[in-house]
Amino acid sequence: MAPPPSIPGPKPPKPAPSPARNETLLDVQGLSCPLPVLKANKALRGLPPGARLTVLATDAASVADFQAFCRETGHALVSFSESGGVYSYTLRKRDEAPAEKADE
């Protein structure tokens, strides 16, 4: 005898998307200033607001470059680390374009 058909119940809620799923990796190791920041800027343009971009670089000057880039553009420098000469930056794309500065 076949088992009785199951009665469909409410579906369990779908899990919220993991931040890691909305993260892109950009490897610019071996490139010198200003290329790591320029390539990161280009990659960020193609991402939705709030998306994360992790950049791997080997140029020591990129530390100051990424700090200045985030300060000027409004993107967030979420994390920074260095290990074995490889610098890792995680940037979060700003939610919207920054307001234009008024002429003084």
pTM: predicted TM-score of the whole model, two decimal places: 0.72
For the chain, the helix, strand and coil percentages under 3-state DSSP, each to the nearest 5: 25, 25, 50
Identify whether 70 is a catalytic site residue. no
- Residue with more model confidence, 3 or 96: 96
- Per-residue pLDDT at 6: 54
Confirm whether 79 is domain-assigned: yes
Confirm whether 14 is domain-assigned: no
Tokens of 66: 């990424």
Report the alpha-carbon distance of residue 26 to residue 14 in Å, rounded: 29
> Which of 26, 31, 33, 76 is an active site residue?
33
State which residues form the domain around 33: 21-92
How many domains does the chain fold into? 1
CATH of the domain at 63: 3.30.110.40
Q: Which residues, at least 6 apart from 57, have a Cβ–Cβ distance to it below 8 Å?
A: 28, 29, 31, 36, 86, 87, 89
Residue 21 phi, psi dihedral angles, 5° rounding: -70, -25
Helix (H) or strand (E) holding 83: strand 76-83
- Please say if the pLDDT value at position 48 is more than 80: yes
Strands 52-57 and 86-92: antiparallel
Confirm whether 9 is domain-assigned: no
Confirm whether 6 is domain-assigned: no
